[in-house]
Amino acid sequence: MKGIDIVIVNWNSGTQLRECLRSIENFGNEAAPVAVTVVDNASSDGSADGLPSPSYALRVIRNPANFGFGRASNLGAREGSADYLLFLNPDTRLHPGALSTPPGFMESEAGKDTGICGIQCLDEAGRIARCCARFPTAWRLIGQALGLDRLFPAWIRPHFLSEWPHDTDRDVDQVIGAFFFVRRAVFEQLGGFDERFFVYYEDLDFALRARRAGWGSRYLAGARIFHRGGGVSRQISARRLYYLTNSKLLYVRKHFAGIEAFLASGAVLLLEPLARSAYALGRGRLGEFADTWKAFGWLYASLCRPGRNGR
């Protein structure tokens, strides 16, 4: 049936989840019907308890542990049957047009080959965030590990499309996962998110698989959300870096081969912690230095554990 199934993965998001749900209440009538599934990854802050009763259908799934973003999103997606899926972060708030613009484009002739849509993100200062990204290449990951994308962006293009003001519609490699609008048919065709990505890169991996299957990603500047950015991961910088780097390595193993996979993995494992340490010490950020080695210590330990997922 036409409509949108919204999936929100929650983990200790505090009051942000309620604010997000309230914004859906305000603009949910733009697309009918809308159903929301909150998948709570064993929050300990009570953020998924006692949620208000909105006018739209609201379902809460409580996982006994933190299953990660990809697995939790797949669980939520299976609860609905609408033509469209929207994976929405709890630290977002919808603006007018957020629920009507993506399906409107996808149902047009111009959007018939588009599988994924994103919209404009505003940060806490009301500025347009540079939120669309390029697919990683081995050489780009090596450049990022050394910080060359910051020093020489004309040679090593950054991951995010920072040179583009995000004020026009365009096809992109990847839209931000905070607002990830997908045709259900495409999501099911690809088997959903790869659950080996605990958090980070699962949306990038999905966008790449969609591209290879003939489905593009489109950024639509005519609709907006507020996105706080960082979410609760702001509170856990070392843990965030661990998950980010772990997912980066998984992406390398999954999509690169031969010498490219060897060099990209080596850069992430050996060069990136050194470059991050030098950057942190050069600016007197001792906490950032400590978090870097805490995260890479966890990463090295995890690589030594048996049964680690490979390709």
Reply yes or no on whether the pLDDT at 308 is more than 80: no
Query: Range with the lowest mean pLDDT among 4-8, 72-76, 82-86, 233-237?
Result: 233-237
> 227, 121 in Cβ contact below 8 A?
yes
Average pLDDT rounded to a whole number, residues 96-108: 96
Q: What percent of the chain has pLDDT over 90?
A: 81
The pLDDT, as a whole number, for residue 307 is 62
Q: Is 40 exposed, middle or buried (0-12, 13-18, 19+ CB in 10 A)?
A: buried
Categorize the per-residue pLDDT at 311 as very low, low, confident or very high, splitting at 50, 70 and 90: very low
The pLDDT, as a whole number, for residue 156 is 85
The pLDDT, as a whole number, for residue 310 is 43
Average pLDDT rounded to a whole number, residues 46-63: 93
Per-residue pLDDT reduced to its tens digit, 153-208: 888 888 999 999 999 999 999 999 999 999 999 999 999 999 999 999 999 999 99
Categorize the per-residue pLDDT at 152 as very low, low, confident or very high, splitting at 50, 70 and 90: confident
Reply yes or no on whether the pLDDT at 69 is more than 90: yes
Chain centroid to CA 311? 21
Comparing 33 with 213, the larger pLDDT belongs to 213
Reply yes or no on whether the pLDDT at 68 is more than 60: yes
Q: What is the mean pLDDT of the chain?
A: 92
Question: What per-residue string of b and e applies to 104-139 under the rule 16 or more CB within 10 Å gives b?
Answer: bbbeeeebeebbbbbbbbbeeeeeebbbbbebbebe
Average pLDDT rounded to a whole number, residues 276-303: 92
Chain centroid to CA 6? 15
Per-residue pLDDT reduced to its tens digit, 227-250: 997 654 445 589 999 999 999 999
Diameter of the chain by CA atoms? 56
SS3 string, the chain, reads CCCEEEEEEECCCCCHHHHHHHHHHHHHHHCCCEEEEEEECCCCCCCCCCCCCCCCEEEEEECCCCCCHHHHHHHHHCCCCCCEEEEECCCEEECCCCCCHHHHHHCCHHHCCEEEEEEEEECCCCCECCCCECCCCHHHHHHHHHCHHHHCCCCCCCCECCCCCCCCCEEECECCCCEEEEEHHHHHHCCCCCCCCCCCCHHHHHHHHHHHCCCEEEEEEEEEEEECCCHHHHHCHHHHHHHHHHHHHHHHHHHCCHHHHHHHHHHHHHHHHHHHHHHHHHCCCHHHHHHHHHHHHHHHHHHCCCCCCCC
- Name the residue among 32, 3, 43 with its Cα closest to residue 18: 43
Reply yes or no on whether the pLDDT at 309 is more than 60: no
Per-residue pLDDT reduced to its tens digit, 268-282: 999 999 999 998 899
The pLDDT, as a whole number, for residue 232 is 47
Average pLDDT rounded to a whole number, residues 285-304: 92
The pLDDT, as a whole number, for residue 230 is 60
Residue 37, beta-bridge partner list: 7, 59
The pLDDT, as a whole number, for residue 236 is 57
CB atoms within 10 A of CB 171: 11
Reply yes or no on whether the pLDDT at 1 is more than 80: no
